[in-house]
Every structure is written in C-alpha cells, then in structure tokens.
C-alpha cells in the first residue's frame, strides 16, 4: 500500500525567508497530491494541490512541485509571514484503496519575527 | 451557513461511558469521513462513507460505530470509552467525481477528553 513520509517534522524560519517542506510517497500509481494547512486549534484546510499531469503549480506565495520519477513532492512558501505559522500536511491519493488519501505526519512551521 | 458542522465541540466524560458525535454537511457531497487526530497531530482516517455506504473501515476498535442516516449526515458512536480515545475527532466531506478526489472540507473538530 501507499506510504507517505514528510520532512522535516518542525521547521523554523525567519520572517521573510522561504520555507520548503518535502514529502515522498511509495505508490507510483498515486496521481493526486494535496497540501493542507492547520492553524492552532483550527481545522485542516486545503491550500494547494497538484495532479500528476503537471510538474509545478503556483498560487501567489505558495507553490508545489512534483517529481514523479523520484516520487516526491514539495511545498514552497516564499516571503513567509507570521500567519504562515501552522502545521502543514501533505497527502497522496491511493488508487488501490478507494482513492483514500494517505497522509504525511505533518510539519510544524514556525515563523520567527 | 457552516459547510461541515459537528457537535459537540467539546466532550469530557468518564472511562466506560458511551458517547456520540454528530456531523452534518450542507455541501451536497457524497462522501464523508471521520478522522482522529491525537496529541501528536497525526491525522488518522477511521471511516469513509459514500452515499450512506461504508467504503473505508480502518482498523479501529469495534467500540467505534459510524452511522449514516442519509448522505448529509455521518455520526460516530463510541462505546466503553477508554483513556486512549482522548483526541480531536474531525468529520470531513468531499465530492468524489469518478476517479478524481475533490477537496476535503473538515468540520471544526470535536475534542474528546476521557478521564
């Protein structure tokens, strides 16, 4: 079955710098990769997603890149701001299991003022 | 006009009790889920229902029983509560369009504390 690993578990960056969170997956048949942001005490919310027919997708300060050959995808946040502080989860869709999302363990992003 | 609403938001109870958490979505989605998020923040899927039918049933104790009276509701009943059941339980819904998974919309979460 699918397995998703996410690194790092905690990331601390200076405000204004960039942050990169990486995920690897094991099932080459996976073709949908969303990223969710969960602020403290709140619900997870989708911030960006990518399907396997593209290699990169950008939405203002956030971007996701996908390398299907290497089976990894990354979240990039530029010009980080205090409101970017949250836990970020990556996921991969497992077509072998009713398209269930397999989740990474989460990355706690801390933006230092 | 909350999209996915779950009640109660907080639940404190004694070991051995039975409790229920309710979830309703007004998005017209056909697939609903229950997730458990423990203190380490890991999101673990418990159940998935599509049009009132159980699709995913992960290895959770049979003390947990989901019930879907219609496709807009998915309730979670827990029997004989244990300390390890303490967590935040999230309901979520999505529109499954063929082979494409849509965005997951989560409820606000129900924080269960078992004493």
- Mean pLDDT by runs of 10 across the 113 residues of chain A is 92 98 93 96 96 91 96 97 98 78 96 95
CA atoms within 13 A on the CB side of B18: 6
B48 closest CB neighbour out of A34, A100, A105: A100
- Encode pLDDT of B2-17 as tens digits: 799 999 999 999 999 9
A99 closest CB neighbour out of B90, B101, B103: B101
- Encode pLDDT of B45-79 as tens digits: 999 888 878 877 777 889 999 999 998 999 999 99
Phi, psi of A84 (to 5 degrees): -80, -10
| Chain A interface mutation, best of B104, B109, B111, highest count of A Cβ atoms under 10 Å | B104
CA angle A102, A58, A104 (to 5 degrees): 20
């Amino acid at each position: 079955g699918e397995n998703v690993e996410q690194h790092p578990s905690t990331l601390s960056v200076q405000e204004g710098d960039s942050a990169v969170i990486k995920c690897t997956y094991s099932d080459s048949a996976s073709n949908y990769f969303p990223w969710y942001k969960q602020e403290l005490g709140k619900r997870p919310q989708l911030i960006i997603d990518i399907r396997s027919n593209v290699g990169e997708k950008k939405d203002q300060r956030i971007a996701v890149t996908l390398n299907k050959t290497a089976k990894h995808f990354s979240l990039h946040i530029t010009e980080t701001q205090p409101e970017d502080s949250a836990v970020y989860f990556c996921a991969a869709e497992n077509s072998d299991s009713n398209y269930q999302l397999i989740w990474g363990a989460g990355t706690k992003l801390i933006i230092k003022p | 006009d909350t999209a996915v609403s779950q009640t109660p938001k907080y639940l404190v109870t004694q070991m051995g009790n039975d409790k229920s958490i309710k979830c309703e979505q007004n998005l017209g989605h056909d697939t609903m889920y229950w997730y458990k998020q423990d203190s380490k923040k890991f999101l673990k899927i418990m159940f998935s229902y599509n049009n009132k039918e159980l699709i995913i049933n992960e290895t959770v104790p049979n003390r947990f029983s989901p019930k879907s009276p219609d496709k807009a509701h998915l309730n979670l009943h827990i029997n004989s509560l244990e300390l390890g059941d303490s967590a935040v339980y999230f309901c979520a819904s999505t529109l499954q369009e063929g082979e494409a998974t849509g965005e997951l919309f989560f409820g606000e979460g129900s924080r269960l504390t078992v004493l």
